[in-house]
Amino acid sequence: KAGVTQTPRYLIKTRGQQVTLSCSPISGHRSVSWYQQTPGQGLQFLFEYFSETQRNKGNFPGRFSGRQFSNSRSEMNVSTLELGDSALYLCASSLGNRANQPQHFGDGTRLSIL
Amino acid sequence: TQLLEQSPQFLSIQEGENLTVYCNSSSVFSSLQWYRQEPGEGPVLLVTVVTGGEVKKLKRLTFQFGDARKDSSLHITAAQPGDTGLYLCAGASGANNLFFGTGTRLTVIP
């Protein structure tokens, strides 16, 4: 069974640009969650999509947005990039029926802002 | 937002030593998960504990869920270099909410 795939693995952008990250979940998983991971703040929840609808949202500014397609693949977009957006962005998929189901993580996209 | 505090934040020990990592909250969780993340990879689920007081063993790792379902501990016996990584606890609350802890970074020195 293929795991969660995130593309690209590495990305370098400059301030003010925008970026789109992609996540392909495990087949059959309907929930995709996005997280930002930094050394100082740890793993912070961005948002969760289930059946193409945003079901949960963390405390991030509106520059961070996402969407989910009918095949459960998800994209995350960050506009007007800031230096502080440099981080590892992880997505995780699950069946999504209950909160205690395991989250299956991809290996992340490392975003560096110059 | 349910806050899950993990302690210690950093831990460096010699191979063969025992250690315990703690995950504490003032909130009650319906279940608690433990993940390990190695450099360059995403977190991987180790175990899920559901019942207050539950103890689960995974080889040299012992996980316990507090009686009140507000805290959990992870005990590693005879640590090995392969145990090195970032350990994350995550508490489930409500229908679809999962809250991750602050993390414990473990280094096992050969």
- pLDDT tens digit sequence for A56-112: 899 999 999 999 999 999 999 999 999 999 999 999 999 877 767 889 999 999 999
CB pairs under 8 A between A and B: 64
Please list every residue in chain A whose beta carbon sits closer than 8 Å to the beta carbon of residue B1.
59
Q: What is the pLDDT of residue A96?
A: 78
Tell me what percent of the residues of chain B surpass a pLDDT of 90. Answer: 86
CA distance B93 to chain A (A): 7
Q: Is the pLDDT of residue B1 over 70?
A: no
Of B33, B93, B97, the CB nearest to A102: B33
Task: Name which of A24-38, A39-53, A55-69, B48-62 the model is least confident about.
Answer: A39-53
State the Cα–Cα distance between residues A50 and B54, nearest whole angstrom: 30
State the Cα–Cα distance between residues B2 and A22, nearest whole angstrom: 28
Q: What is the pLDDT of residue B97?
A: 79
Cβ neighbours for A59, distance < 8 A, ≥ 6 positions apart: B1
Please list every residue in chain B whose beta carbon sits closer than 8 Å to the beta carbon of residue A105.
35, 42-44
Q: What is the pLDDT of residue B79?
A: 97
Of A33, A103, A107, the CB nearest to B45: A103
Tell me what percent of the residues of chain A surpass a pLDDT of 70. Answer: 98
Tokens found for residue B62: 């012992």
Angle, CA A22 vertex, CA A59 and CA A101 arms, to 5°: 65
CA distance A82 to chain B (A): 23
Q: What is the pLDDT of residue B2?
A: 61
State the Cα–Cα distance between residues B34 and B30, nearest whole angstrom: 14
For residue B101, give the nearest of B86, B87, B90, B110 by alpha carbon: B90
Yes or no, beta carbons of A108 and B42 under 8 Å apart: yes
Residue type, A71: N
Q: Which has the higher per-residue pLDDT, B89 or B1?
A: B89
